[in-house]
Amino acid sequence: MNKQLHVQIQWLLIVLMTLSFYCTPGRIADGGTEDVNTRVVIGKVLNEDSSPASNAQVLLIPSNYDPVRDAGTTILADTTDSMGEYRFTVKDSGIFTAQIVQIKTRTRALVTSEEVLDSMTCFPSTILSKPGKIKVILPEYVNSEKGYVYIPGTDRFIYLKNSSGYVILDSVPAETSTNIFYSENNEKDAIVLRYNVSVKPEEVSTVANPGWKYSRTLVLNTSVTGASVSGTVTDFPVLIRLTENNFDFNQAKNDGSDIRFTKADNSFLSYEIEEWNSAEKRASVWVKVDTVWGDNYVQSINMYWGNPDAPLYSGSSAVFDTSDNVIAVWHLGEECKDATANTYDAIMVSAYDAPGVIGRCKGFNGLDSIVVPGLLDTPPSLTLSAWVCLDAKSGSRGGDVISLGDAAIIRLDYTQDSFGTTGGIHLSENTYFFNVQSGIFLNGTGWHLVSFTIDHSISENSLYIDGILVGSGNTQKRPVNYSGVGKNTYIGTHGNGKTEYGFKGRIDEVRVYNKPLNSDYIKLCYMNQKNDDALVIFK
């Protein structure tokens, strides 16, 4: 059992014991008779070894307390007894914070935003730990002479005088989330710099880009406990799925235009909002990360939101950059536009809108198709990739997903000699084709990521399903021949007019590269983009 899980279990047991033993009428009666018009607050404090923390100083502070503006306010104080228990008598109801410090061990704790309404209120038990620090990068509008930064509901604050672009709040209770506010000496209302800042013992948490009220750390876990990709992948568009389970859409602008992403060094990352649906509480966002380290569980990026003044910054061509050997990307949402600067947009679409594996996609009935003019500059080496869901038996001989003419294709459930799902290329001006066959049929098996790579430099062709190599073959130095097999690129049907290869099902996220992607890149695509994303962890 890891240390973090062990501590969480300890906390749960402590809270349950406290609620069952300390929060009883008998315990209150032991302390004497209480005025019926007053309210009693009790709680328990433990040391790091789970023993009762005696002689700890406890302050009961209103949760909206400003330590500068409200400096004259009387704050209730108590000292824990031999059982680690504290007790307050409160006249008025309200929301309070319990700030706890053990001078001897130099440990602290914080119980935040507890509502006191009834005659008896039991605060959750808490464990003392070494405090942390919060580094706050200051926004441009601050007043360095009169301004200060503080944590509401505590005595933690610092004036900005003599600061050089940032301040550090010291001795901040750890293992909790705190809010950071800015104000000026009794002259203006407080401004939220950041909500829910996580503080760890003896570590420094940084509040950067304070124009955004919210932030969250997203870990990119490529270790065996995550995506299980051992090699480092560069220039990778990471898919971030937002749902009501990991994101509060009410905190962001309705169109998501205030969302931002940064690296650990606070440099901003390019991103594209493919879908943002506040009403249905879902979004799909692509974030370009220059390096995703292999076999790593600590690399992270930061997500920011909650800035009503932020303009839209989303841009697909910066994420799917042609300098990274991307030829075309079709998300196949409401429109069939190319996400790259090449603008290989579809000119004819007869497919229908449908739910996809990433936002919306296009559905095909065996006769539908999407047509893109030309053959994408006839690349000699390439990668074809698409998410596919074959809902029914397709044409009499299989279902084509994408075809550059009939020169380079991905075909599902190819019936010839039980080839199954294949990647095929045209090698000569006659009818000679080379197929990398898997023998795997996908009809009725749900969503799959199929990728086909052609490496002209070594004549090697490889077929992947769900990030796993399922077939390969060598064309003996014969290149892809684009002559005489169609003039346009098709999605969902044959690239040269044959009707027996119509696709029946759904297709999503079609991509074409002018290089063969390596196996780590392809596997990372699958592990990140599948419904149960194994790469991104919300912290």
pLDDT > 80? residue 157: yes
Chain-centre distance for alpha carbon 284 = 10
Write out pLDDT tens, residues 335-357.
999 999 999 999 988 999 999 99
Confidence band, pLDDT 50/70/90 cuts, at residue 119:
confident
Query: Which pair of tokens denotes residue 14?
Result: 């402590």
H or E stretch covering 10: helix 3-21
* Mean pLDDT of the region 163-185: 93
Cα angle 266, 271, 273 (rounded to 5 degrees) comes to 135
Instruction: Please identify, in words, the CATH class of the domain defined by 132-211.
Output: mainly beta
Mean pLDDT for all residues in the chain: 92
pLDDT recorded at residue 169: 97
Residue 375 to residues 17, 93, 328, 402, 514, Cα–Cα distance (Å): 70, 72, 11, 11, 12
Confidence band, pLDDT 50/70/90 cuts, at residue 16:
very low
Picking from 432, 352, 423, 338, the residue whose alpha carbon sits closest to that of residue 391 is: 352
Round to whole Å and give the CA distance between 509 and 498.
24
DSSP codes, 90-157: ESS-EEEEEEEEETTTTEEEEEEEEEE-SSEEEPPPEE-B--EEEEEEPPTT--TTTEEEE-TTSS-E
Residues with Cβ within 8 Å of residue 13, at least 6 apart in sequence: none
Picking from 368, 411, 419, 377, the residue whose alpha carbon sits closest to that of residue 512 is: 377
Q: What percent helix, strand, coil does the chain show, rounded to 5? A: 10, 45, 45
Q: Which amino acid is at 355?
A: P
Residue 303, class by beta-carbon neighbours within 10 Å (0-12 exposed, 13-18 middle, 19+ buried)? Answer: buried
Per-domain residue ranges of the chain: 3-127, 132-211, 237-319, 326-514
Query: Which pair of tokens denotes residue 221?
Result: 């876990």
- For the structural domain made of 326-514, what CATH number should be given? 2.60.120.200
Judge whether 408 and 426 are in contact, CB under 8 Å. yes
* Mean pLDDT of the region 200-209: 95
3-127 shares its CATH topology with 132-211: yes
Range 455-460 contact pairs with CB under 8 angstroms and sequence separation of 24 or more: 455/381, 455/516, 456/380, 456/381, 456/480, 457/381, 460/516
pLDDT recorded at residue 476: 81
Write out pLDDT tens, residues 22-71.
554 333 333 334 555 789 999 999 999 999 999 999 999 999 999 999 99
* Mean pLDDT of the region 320-329: 98
pLDDT > 60? residue 3: no
Confidence band, pLDDT 50/70/90 cuts, at residue 394:
confident
Q: Which CATH number fits domain 3-127: 2.60.40.10, 3.30.565.10, 3.40.30.10, 3.40.605.10?
A: 2.60.40.10
